[in-house]
Amino acid sequence: MPVIECDPAAARDRLQAADVPIESGNTDHELWRASHAGGTAVAYDDKVVVQGSSPAQLTALLRPDAGARAHVYFDGAARGNPGPAAIGWVIVTDDGIVAEGGERIGDTTNNRAEYEALIRGLEVARDHGFDVVEARGDSELIVKQVRGEYDTNDPGLRERRVRVRELLTTFEDWTLSHVPREANDRADDLANDALDGN
């Protein structure tokens, strides 16, 4: 449940500019409420709390730094090749972690899991309304395939590369870089925790 520390009046203005209807609060403590794209925002004195099954789009509209730059860290893990697999991703700005997650994705190869992690991280960054992303992962193969430096012969990887490139075009600018595993430890931890069932 995202909590956005902000001026509720300014947040209300941002929602009204996006044609999101505003309603009265349900209690004496609630200043107003607004629902949009599977999320509901509730304003209090100095913050807005977003609830619902899909809060990302509403959260993106409310964030005072909407349109800013985000770093997207991603990692995939498979035990066996193919074998049980999971992904981890982290969205970071200068203010810290905006969102993160890890989930099991069934049985697949490590390279396919890496692609799925990148896809999920980019989807979340897009849904949060970032204009610029700097994606970083420790799979040199995936980074160089997406950038066009390596061929993609595997049909499953080729299909995922197309999806990644489609997502990247939704941003005004992007970079994709290979980083050492130790610089990607949070995404790696999330993927492995998901594999362990944590």
> Domain coordinates of the chain in residue numbers?
3-62, 69-195
The model's pLDDT over 148-185, given as tens digits with 9 standing for 90+, comes to 999 999 999 999 999 999 999 999 899 999 999 999 99
| Rounded Cα–Cα distance for residues 50 and 42 (Å) | 6
- Closest residue by Cα to residue 144 from 173, 171, 114, 116: 114
What dotted CATH number matches 69-195?
A: 3.30.420.10
Q: Is 3.30.70.20 the CATH classification of the domain at 3-62? A: no
What Cα–Cα distance (Å) separates residue 110 from each residue in 45, 84, 113, 129, 157?
47, 9, 5, 29, 11
Q: Are 35 and 104 in contact (CB under 8 A)?
A: no
The model's pLDDT over 97-130, given as tens digits with 9 standing for 90+, comes to 888 999 999 999 999 999 999 999 999 998 887 8
Q: What is the pTM of this model?
A: 0.74
